[in-house]
Amino acid sequence: MSTVLSDEARPALTQLSEEEEMFREAVRDFAESEVAPRVARMDEAQKMDEDLIPQLFELGLMGIEIPERFGGAGSSFFTSVLVVEELSRIDPSVAVLVDVQNTLVINALNRWGSAEQRERYFPALARDTVGAYALSEAGSGSDAFALTCRARQEGEEWVLDGQKLWITNGAEADLFIVFATVDPEAGYKGITAFLVERDFDGFTVGKKEDKLGIRASSTTELILDGCRVPESHVLGEVGKGYKVAIETLNEGRIGIGAQMVGLAQGALDHTLRYVKEREQFGRPIGQFQGVQFQLAEMATDIEAARLLVYNAARLKDAGKEFLVPAAMAKLHSSRIAQTVASTCIDLHGGYGFTREYPVEKLYRDAKIGTIYEGTTNMQLQTIAKLMLR
């Protein structure tokens, strides 16, 4: 069960084309048959199953918006959102690996990459190469452009020095979009984006974080110690990295919204099954009105969040303004993911507090939604600022 509403009863905004529906069903089948049996083991080991990543490539989930001539699916941003939502129902850790690959790395290359860069990287990203997006630093979180990572030009190369933190996919990635400043005096106008390969001299993937949730998703530091990057690997223009960062993250927030919607739906799905089986006072607890009201509230909240996410994704694909809708989608979906996962634990009672039932993991996974790719406060600031403009 994915949603409460039947396709006939769904608003036009959430109705899917035949192609989108087929893609979603394929991802759902894959998630339930291949991902679900691995979830608990990956969470315990804090590591993505190595056999799973090649399957993600084989199914076409790692190159959704890459043109077909490069080996990608040649599909839409909205399709990426559907994939992230469906994977998140089963495991948000797997979903965020796919999300970063598509909504950040591939999206940035689609928009800012040169023809030569796309020729070089798109076939690999569609075939077997994981990408990562390296903006954050120890003192650069919500203040995204307070970068201390520096880049200086030496002949036909750039030399990067500094450290990046909280880099999703760091352990698996072979391609990194790294942001550094070429001129600290220029402020944000000195920031530049670079395409850095794992085997470049002076580049090292550092420690892996021990996290509360999405534990199978790697989050690492990156160390750049005289990392030499060819001049041809500047993504976009020198000094225009701030545009690459802002505009890519605006789109990425929609992907996080989809992750949180899928997570919440997954928690509700588990709970709907549980309340039909768990008996108290001689009948299933799902027959009690108090429980039914809680289920109805959760279903309504999830559907509202889904509408916000789908609306933002449709606007993005249509080339229309989506900044505020994206911020609203991430804001609301990250909130409801936490409240739904918490309520689902309540309805499981003591069992919900144990690792025997999957809602405990989803509760831990939900917390990150209010933090990465723009905190709740940053979404509120974005919405209010544009309202008052």
Position 1 scores a pLDDT of 44
Position 11 scores a pLDDT of 56
Structure tokens at 359: 């809602």
Q: Count the alpha carbons within 13 Å of 155 in the hemisphere toward its beta carbon.
A: 5
Ramachandran sector of residue 319 (left: φ over 0; alpha: ψ -120 to 50; beta: rest): left
- Give the residues across from 180 on adjacent strands: 192
Dihedral (C-alpha) 194, 51, 260, 176: value to the nearest 10 degrees? 0
* Structure-token match 């893609």, residue found: 23
Position 157 scores a pLDDT of 98
Q: How confident is the model at residue 18 (pLDDT cuts 50, 70, 90)?
A: confident
Percent of the chain with pLDDT over 70: 96
Contact between residue 312 and residue 257 where contact means Cβ atoms under 8 Å apart: yes
Q: Domain 243-388, what fold?
A: Butyryl-CoA Dehydrogenase, subunit A; domain 3 (1.20.140)
Residue ranges covered by each domain of the chain: 7-130, 132-239, 243-388
Lowest pLDDT segment from 136-150, 200-214, 374-388: 136-150
Question: Pairing between strand 234-235 and 219-230?
Answer: unpaired
Interatomic CA distance for residues 281 and 343, integer angstroms: 21
Contact between residue 233 and residue 196 where contact means Cβ atoms under 8 Å apart: yes
Average predicted confidence (pLDDT) for the chain = 95
User: What amino acid is encoded at 56 in this protein?
Assistant: L
Structure tokens at 114: 């040169």
Structure tokens at 270: 């588990």
Dihedral (C-alpha) 254, 260, 263, 264: value to the nearest 10 degrees? -120
Instruction: List, in sequence order, the alpha helices (H) in 322-388.
Output: 323-348, 359-366, 376-388
Q: Which residues are catalytic?
A: 373
Q: Is CATH 3.10.250.10 the classification given to domain 132-239?
A: no
Contact between residue 17 and residue 316 where contact means Cβ atoms under 8 Å apart: no
Structure tokens at 203: 């580049």
Spell out a b/e string for 310-319, using b for 16 or more CB atoms within 10 Å of the CB, else e.
bbbbbbbbee
Interatomic CA distance for residues 53 and 208, integer angstroms: 19
Question: Pairing between strand 219-230 and 157-168?
Answer: antiparallel
Q: Count the alpha carbons within 13 Å of 218 in the hemisphere toward its beta carbon.
A: 21
pLDDT of 338 over the 90 cut: yes
How confident is the model over 257-290, as pLDDT tens digits? 999 999 999 999 999 999 999 999 999 999 999 9
pLDDT of 353 over the 70 cut: yes
The CATH class of the 7-130 domain is mainly alpha
Structure tokens at 332: 């609301």
Q: How confident is the model at residue 106 (pLDDT cuts 50, 70, 90)?
A: very high
pLDDT of 8 over the 90 cut: no
Interacting residues of 130 by C-beta distance below 8 A, sequence separation 6+: 53, 62, 97, 101, 169, 172, 173, 174, 175
Structure tokens at 34: 């291949």
Q: How confident is the model at residue 14 (pLDDT cuts 50, 70, 90)?
A: low
Position 350 scores a pLDDT of 96
By the 10 Å C-beta count (0-12 exposed, 13-18 middle, 19+ buried), 363 is classed as buried
Q: How confident is the model at residue 215 (pLDDT cuts 50, 70, 90)?
A: very high
Position 342 scores a pLDDT of 98
3-state secondary structure 146-205: CCCCEEEEECCEEEEEEEEEEEECCCCCCEEEEEEECCHHHHHHHEEEEEEECCCCCEEE
Comparing CA positions, the residue from 170, 162, 108 lying closest to residue 140 is: 162
